[in-house]
Amino acid sequence: MEDDLARRLLPLEGGINFRDMGGYPVRDGRRVKWGKLYRSGSMARLTPADEAYLAGLRFRCVVDFRSVREQEHAPNRWCPAAGVPYWSRDHREVFGQLHTMAERGIDSEDQAVAVMEDGFRHLPFQQAPAYAELVRRIADGHVPIAFNCTAGKDRTGGAAALVLSILGAARETIVADFTTTERAVDLRTAFGARPQDASSPYARLSEPVMAALAGARPSYITAFLDAIDERCDSVDGYLEEIGVPADTAAAVRAELLE
């Protein structure tokens, strides 16, 4: 597994959880192509050396799931400078009700896990416009493509699960991709889990609670997938609900599988 992560994780000085999703097996015996599909955290810290490395990958699109506030705080300067098409939307949503719950207080690890699972159940529908755009862009051949949020864990993890589901990956493969984030990045740093600002609602939370909020636990992405199945019956039903044409899934598979 460590060798697999070493191949996936891009050798970037300022990258956060920037990794190639190639090589995953799907049910019809094919695999995801290397060098076509990437997931990442914020790209705001990329160095000139990183930008030179990424230029060699010839990205055709980056889809950013972050809110307007996040984009303003940590803008993606690489894409405009490199001429890489960049898509984001004007929204102010946050993951679930995490900030509100933190302000009210989260008293135990079990409560924190429940908060995260609830957030992941809402995520497919909260991020529907962005997820639809990502799927359409892949189907239209805008690959290699990368998609990101801040830590590359929650919103990005949901998007990765969605694309792998469309491709026909087994659930255990999807869960493994999600939990790999815990080995790929220091989530406390990327998530901002223990901010120095004493006024932050997160500063009052216990270490076990913060570990649950910053973690990439199997039950989180399982909640995401279960929510799609419960409301839409299948990933195809989900794509129909979010306005993606019926032939798009086949086009995604044609672009990404070998």
Q: Can you tell me the distance from the alpha carbon of 257 to that of 29, in angstroms, rounded to the nearest whole number?
A: 10
pLDDT at 97: 59
Q: Helix crossing, 109-126 with 155-167: angle to 10°?
A: 60
Domains and CATH numbers, the chain: 2-256 (3.90.190.10)
Evaluate whether 116 touches 209 at the Cβ level (below 8 Å): no
Give ∠ CA 45-159-186 in degrees, rounded to 5: 40
pLDDT at 158: 98
Evaluate whether 159 touches 38 at the Cβ level (below 8 Å): no
Provide the H-helix boundaries in 106-185.
109-126, 128-139, 155-167, 171-179, 181-184
> Which residues make beta-bridge pairs with 9?
19
Give ∠ CA 133-144-258 in degrees, rounded to 5: 105
How far is CA 82 from each of CA 61, 86, 167, rounded to the nearest angstrom?
11, 10, 30
pLDDT at 98: 63
Evaluate whether 118 touches 96 at the Cβ level (below 8 Å): yes
Q: Can you tell me the distance from the alpha carbon of 85 to that of 60, in angstroms, rounded to the nearest whole number?
A: 6
pLDDT at 95: 73
Radius of gyration of the chain (CA): 17
pLDDT at 189: 61
Helices (H) and strands (E) in the chain, counts: 15, 5
Pick from 214, 14, 245, 5: nearest CA to 132: 245
> What is the mean pLDDT for each group of 10 consecutive residues in the chain (258 residues)?
82 97 97 98 97 98 96 96 97 70 74 92 96 98 97 96 98 98 78 52 76 93 98 98 96 98
pLDDT at 27: 94
Catalytic status, residue 149: yes
pLDDT at 96: 58
How far is CA 87 from its chain centroid?
Answer: 15
Q: Can you tell me the distance from the alpha carbon of 18 to that of 42, in angstroms, rounded to the nearest whole number?
A: 9
Q: State the sign of the Cα–Cα–Cα–Cα dihedral 229, 133, 130, 91.
A: negative
pTM, entire model? 0.92
Active-site choice (61, 79, 149, 232): 149
Pick from 219, 220, 210: nearest CA to 189: 210
pLDDT at 190: 55
Name the helix (H) or strand (E) containing 59.
none
